[in-house]
Amino acid sequence: MDLPHEEFWILLLSRSNHVIKKVQISSGVSGTVADPKIIFKTALENLASAVILVHNHPSGNLTPSQADKDLTRKLKEAGSWLEIPVLDHLIFTERNYFSFADEGVL
């Protein structure tokens, strides 16, 4: 995850939480936009039972931004309506990671 740019991926999971597919949603130099419509369209097309959100912070800062928190909340809410729960949102840096679920903020 030592990329010089930010990438946003989703892991699509089966009912038994096995990874069905890994899909890159977006990338960008000064940030990236993760469109909920694209995320859940992809999940629905692949008959995913759950998703995990994943993106990197090239800056090395593990602290989720307010935009990260807002997006996670929005996607969790949308997933509950579609019965495709968001199980976690992981932020990676070159040396470590932050898990919304592990930190109790999901």
Check residue 5 and give its pLDDT: 86
Per residue in 31-66, pLDDT tens? 778 999 999 999 999 999 999 999 998 888 899 999
Structural domain boundaries in the chain: 6-99
Per residue in 12-29, pLDDT tens? 999 999 999 999 999 887
Check residue 79 and give its pLDDT: 96
Check residue 2 and give its pLDDT: 64
Residue 106: name the closest of 80, 84, 91, 86 by CA: 86
Cα 93–14–94 angle (5° rounding)? Answer: 5
Per residue in 69-101, pLDDT tens? 999 999 999 999 999 999 999 999 888 999 999
pLDDT at 4 over 90: no
pLDDT at 103 over 80: yes
From the candidate CATH numbers 3.20.20.70, 3.40.140.10, 3.40.630.190, 3.30.70.920, the one assigned to the domain spanning 6-99:
3.40.140.10
Confidence (pTM): 0.91
* Burial call 53-86: b when 16+ CB within 10 Å, e when fewer: bbbbbbeeeeebeeebeebbeebbeebeeeebbb
69 CB-near residues (< 8 Å, 6+ apart): 105
> Residue 25: how many CA atoms within 13 Å on its side-chain side?
24
Are 51 and 87 contacting, i.e. CB atoms less than 8 angstroms apart?
yes
| Helix, strand, or coil (residue 88) | strand
